Amino acid sequence: MGTFKMNLNGDQVEVEALDDTPLLWVLRDHLGMTGTKYGCGKALCGACTVHLDGTPVRSCSIQISSVEGKNVTTIEGISKTELHPVQKAWIAEDVPQCGYCQSGQIMSAVALLSNTPNPTDEDIETAMSGNICRCGTYVRIRRAIKRAAKGGAS
Amino acid sequence: MNNEKSKIFKVDRRTFLKTTSITTTGLLLGMQFSCSSTTKKLSGDPTANFSPSVYLNINGTGEVTIIAHRSEMGTGIRTSLPLVLGDELEVDWKQVKVVQAVGDAKYGDQNTDGSYSVRMFYPIMRKAGATARMMLEQAAANEWKVDVSQVKAKDHGVVNENGDVLGFGYLADKAAQLEVPDESSLKLKSPDDFKFIGKKTSIVDLEDIVTGKAIFGLDTKVEGAKVAIIRRPPVPGGKLKSYNADAALQVPGVLKVFTIDSPDFPLQLHRPLGGVVVVADNTWSAIKGRDALKVEWDKGVNGKYDSVNYVESMMKRAKADGTVKREQGSAGSELAKASQKVEADYRVHHLSHTPMETPCAIANFKDEKVEIWAPTQEPQWARAAVRGTLGLKEENVTVNVTLLGGGFGRKSKPDFVVEAAMVSKESGFPIKLLWTREDDVQHDFYHANCAQHISAGIDDSGKVNAWLHRTVFPSIGSTSTSDANQPSGAELSQGVLDFPYDVPNVSCQTNEAHAQVRVGWLRSVANINHAFAVGCTLDEIAEKRGVDPAQNLIDMLGADRNIDLDSMSTEFWNYEESLEEYPWSTARFKNVIEQVKSMSGWGKAMPAGSGMGIAAHRSFLTYVACVVEVEVKDGRVKIPKAYYAVDCGVAVNPERIKAQFEGGAVFGTSIALKSKITVRQGAVEQSNFHDYQVARMNESPMETEVFIVQSNEKPTGVGEPPVPPFAPALCNAVYKATGKRIRELPISL
Ligand code: FES
Ligand code: FES
């Protein structure tokens, strides 16, 4: 057990947890932030994707002890005042089906576009192939990323 | 706001007058045309409620609440059915609140499965909307002291010829006092007047989903809830021999460890598998606690099951004479003398549903009552199963339905909901029960593995004159009863007994098979296996006949007709509907084939290593044709584009229909290229997405184009029908690209 501090979506938070607790469960169980989802627990599906100091990571496979003092951004943190352009593009393209994978998809897409503002199809596939969508919304995810890249939501 | 409203009503009034002045001139006589003196009363007594059906409430403020009683797992049904009601009612969609129903028989069928939500409830929702609309119109007519024919519901209110408006809110308490009109007197809207049906509407949960606010199975906050994870017997039907929980109880956060009995055979669809339960403060402690358990199992009678060998033993039976389920003419003797023959054996392995959200549920048992929050496709079954297992009164079991993170048939079975309730009762805590992905992959209700043999004969004139199809697979029924030793008529009507081609000699047969894992239904069920085998064989026939594969399908269908399949097989099943109501129309089938040909540029030249393939299949009463383009390089299949043409009757929400087909193509890609469950020594060998693979973005179609046939036929489902024709179309494309025939899924090149 230990006490860990991190900056979560701009707020300083402190949690008590087993050192090896994955960030995913700290977010969901300890902090009640349920936007981040469990899909595999083994860094295989991307449902749990969050940003750690701006880099997309699988929160199911990052221990809380290694998050100490870092900045964590979750789906709840990317649109404090208004929707993020990626979220707007997701709405414009009606991307989600069941929606379960979409927090992770959006977090991966936001990271992609902040590093690569004009991604090619190949860039998109490289950045997004770690995120499984069992409903199969890939063609719309691709379209939404391109739309967000062009800066157009509608 | 006010300005905006009056603008809207002005436009409405004009259009209303335009249409009525043409058709009902008499009615306009004596009317006052006074644009400046229109009155508008939008709301009334805020406590008033008008609820003419279980699906609808209108309160005095004008808020319309429509109940979504079917489960949302990604099809958009939580939006589409309320939309149908709202269209008949003439609502302003922005003023509608959609509320999810609990499991309760008063809502009618809630089993969100079998692609029949729209088929079954389209007429019911229309009538519910029309009933309310007519009552509101009557209430307005009474208020204005005019005949009801002089008023009309429009945009959340009722207008008269003068342009006066009484809002639904204002009318709620007045309408509530009227008698509900008889069903026979209901006037449904003309399709020409539909406002939402046939047009695009985004799902009601869209913004919640993209902001992470949407509530799935484990997202409801329940005070004091603990987390439970179960170690289940690795072999279905196995039992606990012994266990030691000492180390588990040492894990900080672990609160309790106890057992649930494993059932005897048959295992049933609603029963938990039993095992050792770990209850902890949080998920991670529960996972670590479970890892620390020492457990010994008695494998039971299925301990020797080897699924790959079993497919071979089923294949032996598929190659021998079997139980005849459909017979016209004499396929056997015609095949013996056919001048050319196409013969092939097809193998399909077990598949797992793996919805992105694993099975999970929250249960709070207290004082002989239990409240549940679960991503269930069938809340009434979950309720009944919990009531029966815990011996509770029905009214003391509440099943709230959350959003489902995918279902695909897995979440119809209520075993995981029962587990949560049992664990809550036993532990004394509200419980969040989580299946890890490993639990999901290893303890599913698997898609039946299957062996098929098809033999087709072509006569001297090049006509296909004999068709022998034998299929062998364990029936879903065998999970529930011990005597289901052969597939049922319903399972065989998914691509075998419903063979629609005009071949004079047909024999469809099956044989014995036994389930040694829990077998369940997976998106499109037995159609997956049969559409694959039939679709690939037809492509081989085309080649033998020397005609284009698409033309071959059209040739073989013969003259346009409704096929009388009832007379061809006593066991034919038309997805619970009669052939009178939902005929098997070769004309509609042919049309989707023609459409997919033209949209895909069928026949165009393809570079070396590329190819196009076609397949068509009717399932769940919906007609689908599919073309897939592939590029094969170094044994890797890329899919630049897939095309679908679909005839599902009236298209309620075309955008969501398209989405189902885009997703169906990806689901089909998984089946064709990636997914395979194998069982050895009774236990499933795969455990997570590294070894049970599903299609990722870079493996799925880059683009999927969907054409929806404009139709006024009764609407039919779209959740499952995209899946069956995809794999055979892909296999046929791979053949074009590589010259290799595919006879086993998933494809290995
Ligand atoms: S839950 Fe973390 S990658 Fe799947
Ligand atoms: S939308 Fe359902 S898993 Fe992606």
| Residue-level pLDDT at B34 | 41
Same domain, A63 and A89: no
- C-alpha span between A6 and A14 (Å, rounded): 7
β partners of residue B507:
B327, B468
Q: How far is CA B149 from CA B37, B89, B717, in A?
A: 22, 16, 36
Same domain, A104 and A139: yes
Q: What angle do CA B617, B623, B629 make, to 5 degrees?
A: 60
Considering every ligand atom, which ligand is closest to the CA of A56? 1
Decide whether any atom of ligand 2 lies within 6 Å of the A97 Cβ: yes
In a domain, A38, yes or no: yes
DSSP string, B470-507: EEE---GGGGT-TT--S--HHHHTTTTTT--S--SEEE
User: What tens digit of pLDDT does each residue of B497-553 get?
Assistant: 999 999 999 999 999 999 999 999 999 999 999 999 999 999 999 999 999 999 999
Last residue of a domain, one of A24, A50, A74: A74
Residue in chain B lying closest to A132 (CA): B696
Q: How far is CA B428 from CA B42, B124, B288, B376, in A?
A: 50, 42, 21, 23
Decide whether any atom of ligand 2 lies within 6 Å of the A133 Cβ: yes
Contact (CB<8Å) A25/B284:
yes
From the candidates A139, A140, A141, A143, which should be mutated to test the interface with B, based on the most B CB atoms within 10 A?
Answer: A139
**Within its chain, how far is the Cα of B306 from the centroid?**
30
Preceding omega of B266 cis (within 30 degrees of 0): yes
- C-alpha span between A38 and A101 (Å, rounded): 9
Question: Are A107 and A56 a contacting pair, CB within 8 Å?
Answer: yes
Residue in chain B lying closest to A61 (CA): B284
Question: Are B520 and B446 a contacting pair, CB within 8 Å?
Answer: yes
- Six token digits for residue B139: 């209430």
Same domain, A32 and A65: yes
In a domain, A79, yes or no: no
- C-alpha span between B5 and B9 (Å, rounded): 6
Contact (CB<8Å) B662/A137:
yes
pLDDT of residue A132 exceeding 70, the answer is: yes
Contacts of residue B76 in chain A, CB cutoff 8 Å? Answer: 97
Question: Are B541 and B487 a contacting pair, CB within 8 Å?
Answer: no
- C-alpha span between B333 and B211 (Å, rounded): 65
User: What tens digit of pLDDT does each residue of B176-185 get?
Assistant: 999 999 999 9
Contacts of residue A100 in chain B, CB cutoff 8 Å? Answer: 216, 355-357, 403, 405-406
pLDDT of residue A72 exceeding 90, the answer is: yes
Picking from B28-32, B130-134, B201-205, which range would have the lowest pLDDT averaged per residue? B28-32
CA of A37 to the centre of ligand 1 (A): 8
In a domain, A130, yes or no: yes
Considering every ligand atom, which ligand is closest to the CA of A47? 1
| Residue-level pLDDT at B12 | 32
- Six token digits for residue A65: 């002890």
Q: What structural domains does chain B harbor?
A: 7-210 (3.30.365.10), 217-301+359-434 (3.30.365.10), 307-352+445-745 (3.30.365.10)
Put simply, whether B223 touches A (Cβ < 8 Å) is: no
Of B282, B666, B688, the CB nearest to A29: B282
Residues B631-641 have a mean pLDDT of 97
Distance from CA of A43 to the nearest CA of B (A): 9
Q: How far is CA B712 from CA B15, B124, B127, B186, B656, in A?
A: 25, 17, 17, 20, 18
In a domain, A80, yes or no: no
- C-alpha span between B123 and B112 (Å, rounded): 17
Amino acid at B120: M
Decide whether any atom of ligand 1 lies within 6 Å of the A45 Cβ: yes
- Choose among A65, A59, A106, A77: nearest CA to A11: A77
pLDDT of residue B7 exceeding 50, the answer is: no
- C-alpha span between B125 and B699 (Å, rounded): 40
Same domain, A101 and A62: no
Same domain, A106 and A54: no
Kindly state the percentage of chain B with pLDDT values over 90. Answer: 94
User: What tens digit of pLDDT does each residue of B650-667 get?
Assistant: 999 999 999 999 999 999
- Six token digits for residue B436: 């890890």
| HEC sequence for chain A | CEEEEEEECCEEEEEEECCCCEHHHHHHHHCCCCCCCCCCCCCCCCCCEEEECCEEEEHHHCEHHHCCCCEEECHHHCCCCCCCHHHHHHHHCCCCCCCCCHHHHHHHHHHHHHHCCCCCHHHHHHHHCCCCCCCCCHHHHHHHHHHHHCCCCC
pLDDT of residue B51 exceeding 60, the answer is: yes
- Six token digits for residue B326: 């459909």
The C-alpha torsion from A114 through A119 and A122 to A128, rounded to 10°, is 40
Q: Is B186 left (phi over 0), alpha (psi -120 to 50) or beta?
A: beta
In a domain, A154, yes or no: no
Same domain, A26 and A70: yes
Same domain, A102 and A138: yes
- pTM score: 0.94
Q: Which residues contact A11 (CB under 8 A, 6 or more apart)?
A: none
Question: Are B499 and B522 a contacting pair, CB within 8 Å?
Answer: no
Decide whether any atom of ligand 1 lies within 6 Å of the A39 Cβ: yes
Question: Are A152 and A91 a contacting pair, CB within 8 Å?
Answer: no
Q: How far is CA B433 from CA A127, B154, B359, B374, B571, in A?
A: 32, 47, 9, 10, 41
In a domain, A124, yes or no: yes
pLDDT band at B631 (very low <50, low <70, confident <90, very high): very high
Q: For position A101, which CATH number holds?
A: 1.10.150.120
Phi/psi of residue B40, nearest 5 degrees: -145, 115
Question: Are B27 and B148 a contacting pair, CB within 8 Å?
Answer: no
Residues B423-433 have a mean pLDDT of 98
Contact (CB<8Å) B355/A134:
yes
The average confidence (pLDDT) of chain B is 94
Q: How far is CA A75 from CA A21, A49, A106, in A?
A: 20, 9, 8
Of A44, A90, A139, the CB nearest to B704: A139
Question: A124 lies in which domain range?
Answer: 85-149
Contacts of residue A34 in chain B, CB cutoff 8 Å? Answer: 212, 215-216, 218-219
Decide whether any atom of ligand 1 lies within 6 Å of the A44 Cβ: yes
- C-alpha span between A139 and A143 (Å, rounded): 6
Helix axes B549-557, B586-600, angle to 10 degrees: 170
Considering every ligand atom, which ligand is closest to the CA of A24? 1
pLDDT of residue B10 exceeding 80, the answer is: no
User: What tens digit of pLDDT does each residue of B587-607 get?
Assistant: 999 999 999 999 999 999 999
Residues B289-301 have a mean pLDDT of 97
Same domain, A67 and A90: no
CA of B356 to the centre of ligand 2 (A): 7
Last residue of a domain, one of A74, A98, A116: A74
| Residue-level pLDDT at A152 | 64
- C-alpha span between B737 and B747 (Å, rounded): 14
Contacts of residue B695 in chain A, CB cutoff 8 Å? Answer: 136
Contact (CB<8Å) A97/B696:
no
* DSSP-H helix ranges across B24-164: 25-28, 77-89, 117-144
| Residue-level pLDDT at B4 | 32
Q: Which residues contact B97 (CB under 8 A, 6 or more apart)?
A: B63, B64, B65, B66
What single-letter DSSP state applies at residue B673? Answer: I
Same domain, A60 and A96: no
Same domain, A91 and A127: yes
The C-alpha torsion from B714 through B716 and B722 to B727, rounded to 10°, is -90
Last residue of a domain, one of A18, A49, A74: A74
Distance from CA of A131 to the nearest CA of B (A): 7
Put simply, whether B291 touches A (Cβ < 8 Å) is: no
DSSP string, B240-296: EEEEE-HHHHHSTTEEEEEEEPPPPSS--SSS---EEEEEESSHHHHHHHHHT-EEE
- C-alpha span between A31 and B29 (Å, rounded): 69
Closest residue by Cα to atom 3, ligand 1, is A43
* DSSP-H helix ranges across B319-414: 331-337, 379-390
Decide whether any atom of ligand 2 lies within 6 Å of the A99 Cβ: yes
Decide whether any atom of ligand 1 lies within 6 Å of the A98 Cβ: no
Residue in chain A lying closest to B200 (CA): A94
| Residue-level pLDDT at B36 | 54
- C-alpha span between B558 and B315 (Å, rounded): 31
| Residue-level pLDDT at B31 | 35
User: What tens digit of pLDDT does each residue of B303-332 get?
Assistant: 999 999 999 999 999 999 999 999 999 999
Contact (CB<8Å) B212/A121:
no
How many A/B residue pairs have CB atoms within 8 Å? 190
The secondary structure element, H or E, covering residue B154 is strand B151-154
Nearest ligand 1 atom, CA A59: 2
B2 CB burial (10 A radius; 0-12, 13-18, 19+):
exposed
Residues B383-396 have a mean pLDDT of 98
pLDDT of residue B38 exceeding 80, the answer is: yes
User: What tens digit of pLDDT does each residue of A3-38 get?
Assistant: 999 999 999 999 999 999 999 999 999 999 999 999
Nearest ligand 2 atom, CA A98: 2
| Residue-level pLDDT at A30 | 97
Same domain, A94 and A131: yes
CA of B730 to the centre of ligand 2 (A): 23
B18 CB burial (10 A radius; 0-12, 13-18, 19+):
exposed
Nearest ligand 1 atom, CA A48: 2
- C-alpha span between B245 and B426 (Å, rounded): 17
> Best mutation site among A28, A42, A105, A108 for ligand 1, i.e. most ligand atoms within 8 A of its Cβ?
A42
Contact (CB<8Å) B212/A103:
yes
Residues B66-93 have a mean pLDDT of 97
- Six token digits for residue A137: 């919304």
What's the number of domains chain A is made of? Answer: 2
- C-alpha span between A116 and B247 (Å, rounded): 48
DSSP string, B88-110: HHT--GGGEEEEEPPS-GGG---
| Residue-level pLDDT at A109 | 98
Q: Which residues contact B25 (CB under 8 A, 6 or more apart)?
A: none
Same domain, A66 and A14: yes
Closest residue by Cα to atom 3, ligand 2, is A133
- Six token digits for residue B102: 């609990």
Put simply, whether B205 touches A (Cβ < 8 Å) is: yes
Q: For position A39, which CATH number holds?
A: 3.10.20.30
Sign of CA dihedral B519, B523, B524, B530: negative
| Extended strands (E) in B395-463 | 397-401, 431-434, 450-458
